[in-house]
Amino acid sequence: MRKLYVGVPAKLVLPKARTTAEKALQLDPTLAEPHAALGLVKAGYDYDWTGAEAEFKRAIALNSGSALAHYYYSFGLIALGRDEEAIAEMKKAVSLDPLSPAMNAHLGSAFVYARNYDQGIEQFKRTQELDPNLFYAHGGLMEAYEEKSMYPEALAEFQRTAELSGYNARFLNDINRAYENSGVTGYWQMRRRFIEESPNQANLPTEAAIAYARTGDKERALQSLQKAMAQREFRLILLNVEPAFDSLHSDPRFQDLLRSRKELLRRRSQLRLRERHAKY
C-alpha cells in the first residue's frame, strides 16, 4: 500500500470519490463497497477515524465476503497503529481473493508498518510470484529491505522499481556507483535525487520527506511534510506510523503536523454540517 496513491493529491480525487460513493448509496444503501470507499475518504481526507471505522464495519456487516471492505479497513487500522487487527483484516482479504497481487502486496505493507520486516519480505516475494512486474510489490520489498539495513538487496529492488518507472540506465549506474563509493550514505543521497529529479516531483512531498529523513536532513523533511499537508496528500494518513519518520517524532514541529490534522478534521466536520443543513 505504500506505493498506492503516490503522486495524487487527495484533495483532487477523494472529494470526487465521496460524491460517487454517496450517489451509489442513494441508489442502493445496502451496497458494501461504497461504504468501504466512504471509510477510505473519511480516513485519508477527513482524518475522521471514528467515522471511517463505522463505514468500514458497515461495509463488512453488509457483505463479509467483500475483500475490498477488509482491505480498506486494514488500511485504516494501520493508520491507527492497531497492527494486529490490521494484519488480521488483511489476511481475511487475501483469503477472499488469494490471487490478487494488490491484496497480497498490502498484506506485506501491513507487516512492514507493524515492524514485522521478515514477514513483510516473505509476503512481498510471494506477491512478486503472482505478478513479477507489479511496481509497488518491488517498492514495498525495497523498503522492507531498507528497514532491515539489507542495502544490496534493497538496491536490486530499487533498480527494478526504477526500471518499471521508466528511469534510464544512466541513473541506475549512478546509484550503483554511489553505493559502492559511499555505502549507505551514497545510497540514500541517490534515492533523494531520484525523487528530486522525478517529473512528478511536485506531487511527491511525502516520498521526498522520507528520503530527506533518511539522509538526516530534518529541516527539508519537515518542509516536505508541511507541503504534503497543504496538498492533502493521501499518505499523511500514515504520518504517525511511517518507520522513516521515527527520528522526527521528538521534534515539536512534527507534533504540530499531527495536531494540524486534527484541526483539519474539525473544520471539515463543521463544513459538512453546514452543507447538510443547506440541503433542507
Q: Output the pLDDT for position 279.
A: 53
C-alpha cell at 244: 522513516
Its domain, for residue 13, covers 9-98
Higher pLDDT, 278 or 23: 23
Q: Output the pLDDT for position 2.
A: 46
Domain final residue pick, 66, 98, 130: 98
- First-to-last C-alpha distance (Å) of the chain: 39
Measure the CA–CA gap between 110 and 123, rounded to whole angstroms. Answer: 10
What proportion of the chain, given as a percentage, has pLDDT over 90? 53
Is 173 a member of any domain? no
Is 104 a member of any domain? no
Is 170 a member of any domain? no
| Arithmetic mean of pLDDT, 173-184 | 88
Residue 7 CA, distance from chain mean position: 11
Report which of 199, 198, 213 is spatially closest to residue 248, judged by C-alpha positions: 213
Higher pLDDT, 143 or 4: 143
218 within 8 A of 248, measured Cβ to Cβ? yes
121-147 pLDDT, tens digit per residue, is 999 999 999 999 998 899 999 999 999
Handedness of CA 43, 107, 78, 7 (dihedral sign): negative
Is 125 a member of any domain? no
Measure the CA–CA gap between 152 and 176, rounded to whole angstroms. Answer: 9
Is 109 a member of any domain? no
Domain final residue pick, 76, 98, 120: 98
Is 48 a member of any domain? yes
Higher pLDDT, 58 or 44: 58
Q: What's the Cα-to-Cα distance from 252 to each of 248, 249, 259, rounded to whole Å? A: 9, 8, 10
Q: For position 77, which CATH number holds?
A: 1.25.40.10
Q: How many domains does the chain have?
A: 2
Residue with cell string 499518505: 235
Q: Output the pLDDT for position 221.
A: 94
108 within 8 A of 127, measured Cβ to Cβ? yes
Is 207 a member of any domain? yes
47-73 pLDDT, tens digit per residue, is 788 899 999 999 999 999 999 999 999
Is 272 a member of any domain? yes
Domain final residue pick, 77, 98, 119: 98
Mean pLDDT lowest for which of 8-22, 101-115, 256-270? 256-270
